[in-house]
Structure 1
């Protein structure tokens, strides 16, 4: 009988179907016990090394993965992110260690696109209405339609295109910014590619769907915010590092823009911004969620299963779907004596 492979899951909400898939493919699964409010990104290197000591596969959320940790895990073969961002994964270190790292491409695109639209509607129509009603203030306040508005989409990958599809139902005019425009997609979808400054100046809603990398870090700063309409809204369901939160806080206080919908914050990776996050949350023109745009029952089931399939593929000596692979170091080591 083939020896069972051991897989550690350090994420909550790992559904029974994905668990059954791993077990049916000869995997013994351990789901790490995390304290309330704790994520795997909060675990120390020592604790991760302890949990993963006998693991062949790891389904991970937001833990930092670097050369020092990998050096302590000679048995580990595959690291599967239940998500698509991988700025916390040192892909060069994974490659050098002879391991495989994957992401769950396509699993949560629809969930995040839905969330971005929900934030647009909430900013324009809901705001703090319920809080006012609880206080006994039932006075009618005027909202703003999404219908017929101009929406600027920064980053036009899978999620950005999902947002574009949903905006068609609102008869919105869509502007897009991308360093590498796909002109054929623009013609087919009716999206107009423009430079970032034009997008900021003309949009009623600006929604961010770009990856976090050197050329996008703090892309939306005080200068960028000053280019937006005073009636415009900013939505960020991508990565906190795309926006200078201190500049955003000042812009919202000064009426430079009308409001913001935020699912991600700089304080997630930099504790020095915690006070800024708290101040943003206190503003009546901010709609906020705790980095949960991808976290629906359906979205997590999809990403869980993709991560599980990637783990099984690697443990079977196969290759996961190419879009999911961010590092594959299995051919890194020389076979020479």
Structure 2
């Protein structure tokens, strides 16, 4: 029992998942974060204080750095309630013998639902219309359809494929740009793989579903926005940093783009962009949510349980599901590498 102390710093962790951990011999602490702030805003010292002596950590958006891992020698497994791990130093985890897991299979449907919702919300000018109505102006603002439009998806992973399923109901022409084309899937679903430049040029809606890497950082910027239609709508439910938000802001103000639906922002990782985010969300042709795409009751309950199962698997001396392992630094664990 003594080597099964689990600290949860993620918000909205349900009782069923806590009960699962306790039923498997875990001593569980759900951290009460100051002011209800997310764990991504905690300092190194605050995290060390919360996690001292912990063997398992269920984490949200806190940075998992080499310095932090070195300060927590008892920590065996870091389990993310989510699928991104760009804030995790995977090399450090490997070097220091830790296991890092992600919650694959828990929130893809919720994120795909919001991506479609943002397309519809921006295209039909829902927020703008409501603000006008609040001001007593009931005149109709002309929107644009999603039905039979060209939609370009950058990336075709688990979430991208869920978006494809939903778009089929809109009879959309779907263009894909992805590093490893799946021609059989494309033929079955009626998709067309195209170079990124073609996707940008021909799409009415551009939805981003790629990981944030050195190659994809600022994928949408002053270098690529000129390729797009002047009424194109950008959707980003993937990662802040795929879009250069300052360039997007300028393009929207100057009517070089039609609108944007944004769930993620550069300012989440770079506070110098906070004024840009504040200006973006004030624009009438922007629909914004606070990195909430995966945050539905159903999705959170499922990802909480998946994260908990990964912790218990490591404590039991086995491994989480293969596609949920980011890195396994245990001497006999091997290294399946990145399986996003």
TM-score range (shorter-chain normalised) is: over 0.9
CA-CA distance at 1:332 after TM superposition: 7.2
**1:268 and 2:286 correspond:** no
SS of 1:313's equivalent in the other structure is helix
Give RMSD over aligned pairs. Answer: 1.2
Unaligned runs of 5+ in 1: none
| Distance of 1:285 and 1:36 partners within structure 2 | 32
CA-CA distance at 1:36 after TM superposition: 3.3
SS of 1:247's equivalent in the other structure is helix
- The equivalent of 2:336 in structure 1 is none
SS of 2:161's equivalent in the other structure is helix
**1:13 and 2:12 correspond:** yes
Residues 4, 71 of structure 1: CA spacing in aligned structure 2 closer, same or farther, 3 A cutoff? Answer: closer
| Distance of 2:91 and 2:3 partners within structure 1 | 29
Q: Runs in 1 of length 4+ with deviation above 6 angstroms? A: none
Q: Is the 8 A contact 1:152 1:199 kept in 2?
A: yes
SS of 1:222's equivalent in the other structure is coil
- The equivalent of 1:230 in structure 2 is 230
5 Å-filtered alignment, 1:137-216, equals 137-216=137-216
After superposition, what is the alpha-carbon deviation per residue over 1:139-192, rounded to whole angstroms, capped at 9, x for unaligned?
A: 112111111111000000000010000001111110000122111111111110
- The equivalent of 1:51 in structure 2 is 50
- The equivalent of 1:66 in structure 2 is 65
- The equivalent of 2:30 in structure 1 is 31
SS of 1:170's equivalent in the other structure is coil
After superposition, what is the alpha-carbon deviation per residue over 1:232-259, rounded to whole angstroms, capped at 9, x for unaligned?
A: 1000000111011111011001111110
SS of 1:36's equivalent in the other structure is helix
CA-CA distance at 1:127 after TM superposition: 3.5
Aligned positions, number? 332
**1:257 and 2:257 correspond:** yes
- The equivalent of 2:310 in structure 1 is 310
SS of 2:309's equivalent in the other structure is helix
- The equivalent of 2:338 in structure 1 is none
SS of 1:306's equivalent in the other structure is helix
TM-score normalised by length of structure 1: 0.96
Q: Is the 8 A contact 1:210 1:238 kept in 2?
A: yes
| Distance of 1:142 and 1:247 partners within structure 2 | 26
Q: Is the 8 A contact 2:3 2:55 kept in 1?
A: no
Q: Is the 8 A contact 1:96 1:332 kept in 2?
A: no
TM-score normalised by length of structure 2: 0.95
Q: Is the 8 A contact 2:11 2:60 kept in 1?
A: no
CA-CA distance at 1:37 after TM superposition: 5.0
Q: More deviation in 14-23 or 112-121? A: 14-23
Unaligned runs of 5+ in 2: 334-340
| Distance of 2:233 and 2:325 partners within structure 1 | 35
